[in-house]
Structure 1
Amino acid sequence: MKTLFRFFHKSILLCILSINSQAQTPPNFLIKSEFIFSTDEFPECHASSIVQTHDGLLVTWFAGTQEKNPDVSIYASRFSGDKWSKPIELANGIQSPTLRYPCWNPVLFQVPQGDLLLFYKVGPDPVHWWGMIRRSKDEGKTWSQPERLPEGILGPIKNKPVWLANKTILCPTSTELDGWKLYFEYSKDLGKTWQKSSFLNDGKNIMAIQPSVLFHPKGKLQLLCRSQNDAILEAYSNDNGMTWSEVQKTNLPNPNSGTDALTLKDGRHLLVYNHTIRYTGKWGGPRSPINVAISKEGKKWFAVAELETEPGEFSYPAIIQSSDGMIHIIYTWKRKTIKHVVVDPKKISGKEIINGQWPK
């Protein structure tokens, strides 16, 4: 009898292990999943950005004791072989020996055949911060001195700028000064001078920040953004982002958390976001799971994957597609590190998201 019991016990255990192993098998489109630095490197980190370099990748983020604390600085790590380099500080908010402000939301952008730009914000909070920029002529190995952007120009607020066919840098941005309002900043001289569009929303009925930009045929642009309206919002432009249609809700939820979107080389659109609803919490809403969706035309979205599903914060994604066609997604992992995943776009597909419901 004992022998029979041990046999069944072992069989059940093997069955459970087999099921767990199958559940943990990564989807075939996921090429790599890794931390950029160890979870004990900083007390807290957030808001990363990524760019491809000649020899690999460069990632930036802010880190310190806690968001909004004066010791929060901008850091970077480079991948140029088989591992990520040790983080180095790129910028801080020191104003004088007795005054220091936190840094916020770094954004990297490589001007085609030009400088690599690092945008970031400095100030006590998102209402009173100002825009800063540093420039690199060697893909981030060395940098110019920090420059304050012109008064009223913040730079891209979270998501990467885009390069338009008319050789304009278009920066998706927003303000929290008098309600949450979307607008765009643009430069026609490679970032030397800047102009800005009108606001796209009133900041009261429609409360939106942190847009990203998608490309459609015949020069049409689409924005997707974070909101306090329980949904990802969208608008369209037919004049290179100078004017936009009315900002409206999509059928995708948003818990007042950052998103990012990208038009792939094959014309499809990829979106990374938290597919959850809003509640009152420390950061505005639940930021798990973090989801990937894809669309052919930017209207019907199809569920690709949940990158993280356990409790915790998985947020503020950034996406690029590298020259080899692979998709690189980075995001905040529990405010303890930045996670990097690589996705093969040829292997992704999904079920349609209908009425805002993530398909099971």
Structure 2
Amino acid sequence: TRLEWDIELPANTTGKVYLPDGRKEKIGSGSYHFSVDIPTKDSAILSDEFLYEKASFPECHGATIAETKNGDLVASFFGGTKERNPDCCIWVCRKPKGAETWTAPQLAADGVFALKDPQAVLAGIDSTCTPVKDAGGRIIARRKACWNPVLFQVPGGELILFYKIGLKVSDWTGWLVRSRDGGKTWSKREPLPKGFLGPIKNKPEYVGGRIICPSSTEGSEGWRVHFEISDDKGKTWKMAGPLEAELSVPTQHRKSGGINADDQEGGETIREKGARPIYAIQPSILKHKDGRLQILCRTRNAQVATAWSNDNGSTWSKVTLLNVPNNNSGTDAVTLKDGRHVLIYNNFATLSGTPKGPRTPLCIAISDDGLDWKPVLTLEESPISQYSYPSIIEGKDGKLHTVYTWRRQRIKYAEIDITKF
């Protein structure tokens, strides 16, 4: 995002320097240093920057973003040696309103449990888990990895940071920490009720005094979407779902050039040919003007999935597929104040015979009705590595604010002017 360029020309030599901000400079012999911000690729992208340049961990993933009551931005993600490694912890960076830069990553939560901690049992900590030793080499604790933080600003209340602890996805338990000062400091961790995971990747929505956490599971029953709901600002929780889903053939079972079978009357015959209920996870929630809620989900079926609720999330329609490509990677979505809907996603459909697609390009699409989507902006399109797991909100300033994984090395932030579309 910034160029620092040293140039040295020998005697009796001239040259012309072309800089990324459009400037051209003629220079003669001697030494020169040029320092210039690299402009964004589109005028709609007002800011394009990393949350941090250096950190104590080499990899990061699973970013989330929220805006506090006073307009500060708070972002969180997990970072460690590598995803699933027991040293993965939850980190937070803040960008106070009006600030030019983000604060350095601050540890907000970890998966370390002292040997006599009663919460260790809830997390499934046992003698097989990674030991933590003191300076004398004695085991004083054991740990598991942290995953997928999700920030949620309770209207008029605390900033909550949900996250998961586990060896792998099927081992996850749900936890949270709270901040009463806009993400500067965090409480001790609290477990969610047994069997509850919290929002699995994307932000909850607050509808009519109800917190609706979009959640999902991955296990022997396949990928299933459900919702964890609180009508008392998080004191107690109840579950809605898992949702039923129409049949579809996962991409890894489709022959190259084959047609996706989706026959509701096919029964076991279709299932024997490879069709299963749509494998959907990681829902995000849209709010329609008529009061309906809609979800958009990641799938293993080459398309984004959707479902609808007419009663604030208590019951839902069957999960179906939209004509929007999905590469079996995370998406996020938000409903704007003007009623339009925004989706951030990798605009690539997983190819038949393969389980996943490349996590590039990373794009923004807009819809008036949640059904027909128009791509309007590309944030990343390099074939190098991945640009994935985005989180997006509309700020009090009317701008879009998004964070996402940049090559697993850093978390990138972009501010977008939605009036350009």
Among candidates 320, 327, 334, match of residue 255 of structure 1:
327
1:36 matched to 2:51? The reply is yes
Structure number with bigger Rg: 2
Q: Is the 8 A contact 1:214 1:269 kept in 2?
A: yes
Q: Is the 8 A contact 1:40 1:336 kept in 2?
A: no
1:152 matched to 2:195? The reply is yes
Cα shift at 1:155: 0.3
Distance in 2 (alpha carbons) for counterparts of 1:196 and 1:245:
16
Residue ranges of structure 1 left out of the alignment (5+ in a row): 1-9, 19-23, 349-360
1:167 matched to 2:209? The reply is yes
Report the AA paired with residue 44 of structure 1: E
Among candidates 178, 189, 206, match of residue 278 of structure 2:
206
Distance in 2 (alpha carbons) for counterparts of 1:28 and 1:86:
28
Report the equivalent of 2:362. Answer: 290
Q: Is the 8 A contact 2:40 2:47 kept in 1?
A: no
Cα shift at 1:271: 0.3
Residue ranges of structure 2 left out of the alignment (5+ in a row): 1-14, 23-38, 115-139, 248-275
Q: Is the 8 A contact 1:156 1:171 kept in 2?
A: yes
Report the equivalent of 2:340. Answer: 268
Report the equivalent of 1:322. Answer: 395
Report the equivalent of 2:420. Answer: 347
Among candidates 112, 124, 132, match of residue 94 of structure 1:
112
Q: 1:310 to 1:328 in 2, by over 3 A?
A: same
Q: Which is worse superposed, 150-159 or 55-64?
A: 55-64
- SS of 2:308 mapped into structure 1: strand
Distance in 2 (alpha carbons) for counterparts of 1:79 and 1:132:
25
Report the equivalent of 2:76. Answer: 60
Cα shift at 1:221: 0.7
Cα shift at 1:56: 1.7
Cα shift at 1:98: 4.2
Report the equivalent of 1:45. Answer: 60
Distance in 1 (alpha carbons) for counterparts of 2:352 and 2:89:
28
Cα shift at 1:128: 1.1
Report the equivalent of 2:150. Answer: 107
Q: TM-score, normalised by structure 2?
A: 0.75
Report the AA paired with residue 414 of structure 2: V
Q: 1:126 to 1:186 in 2, by over 3 A?
A: same
- SS of 1:219 mapped into structure 2: coil
Q: Is the 8 A contact 1:153 1:185 kept in 2?
A: yes
Cα shift at 1:282: 11
Q: 1:87 to 1:315 in 2, by over 3 A?
A: same
Among candidates 227, 232, 242, match of residue 299 of structure 2:
227
Q: Deviations over 1:102-151 (max 9, x none)?
A: 00000000111111111000011111110001112221222221011000
- SS of 1:303 mapped into structure 2: strand
Distance in 2 (alpha carbons) for counterparts of 1:127 and 1:137:
32
Distance in 1 (alpha carbons) for counterparts of 2:237 and 2:163:
16
Q: 1:300 to 1:280 in 2, by over 3 A?
A: closer
Report the equivalent of 1:356. Answer: none
Q: 1:249 to 1:281 in 2, by over 3 A?
A: closer
Q: Which is worse superposed, 280-289 or 135-144?
A: 280-289
Work out the number of aligned pairs and report it. Answer: 332
Distance in 1 (alpha carbons) for counterparts of 2:293 and 2:104:
38
Q: Which is worse superposed, 274-283 or 178-187?
A: 274-283
Distance in 1 (alpha carbons) for counterparts of 2:83 and 2:181:
30
Q: Is the 8 A contact 1:226 1:257 kept in 2?
A: yes
Report the equivalent of 1:134. Answer: 177
Root-mean-square deviation (Å): 2.4
Identity of aligned residues (%): 47
Distance in 2 (alpha carbons) for counterparts of 1:118 and 1:281:
38
